Amino acid sequence: MSQPVNPADADLDYLRKHVLALQNVLIRKGLLTYAEVLQEVHRLEAVDHDAGARVVARAWSDPAFKQRLLANGKSALEELGIEPGSYERLEVLENTDRVHHVVVCTTCSCVPSPLTGTTPDWYKGAAYRSRVMQEPRAVLREFGLELPEDVEVRVIDTDVNRRCLVLPLKPPGAGGLTEDQLAQLVTRDSLFGVGQPAGPVGA
């Protein structure tokens, strides 16, 4: 019987022990101080997915920007004044009526954090990382996302050098909204492909 993907199930004890061990090694070698660790923790806790929502909203409303985003993600982020991070490449995966992308990192938990915010616990969990590769539709159902059978599901395994962001489908009825209004529809889960954007109120 497969282990369900519970958003609260993140193998936290396992991850915590490894993070603390690495932290202690870096501090002992003089490469890091505890104050710097706390500063980074506080910075990450303050990050949400607003930047990713801005990127998606611009792509939904500006076809030329969308093409630049799909061609060179990091360069397109710079147009919006968003610092993409130190990884080599940002790959943006466009969902369509025929293809739905889901992002995973099977080796660790790599995400484009300036865009998606703090890494979700479920994304770091062994249940998600192992099962989404083998049975993506079952995993998506556990997140409440049921896709039509004629939609192809593509699971994309990211890594430390290549981060991935899903460009979700623009919701029906959102055609007349401003970029700011569109950004409010973008959910964090939709940036990973395990959810969909919210529909406009009244749509």
Query: Which residues are catalytically annotated?
Result: 105, 108-110
Closest by Cα among 131, 92, 86 to 113? 86
Exposed e or buried b for every residue in 110-141, given b needs 16+ CB within 10 A?
Answer: bbbbbbbbebbbbbbbebbbbbbeeebeebbe
Residue 97 one-letter amino acid: D
User: In the beta sheet, which residues pair with residue 100?
Assistant: 153
Q: Which H helix or E strand runs over 167?
A: strand 162-167
Burial of 198 (0-12, 13-18, 19+ CB in 10 A): middle
Reference 96, options 47, 143, 38, 166; nearest CA is 166
Residue 73 phi/psi, 5-degree rounding, is -60, -45
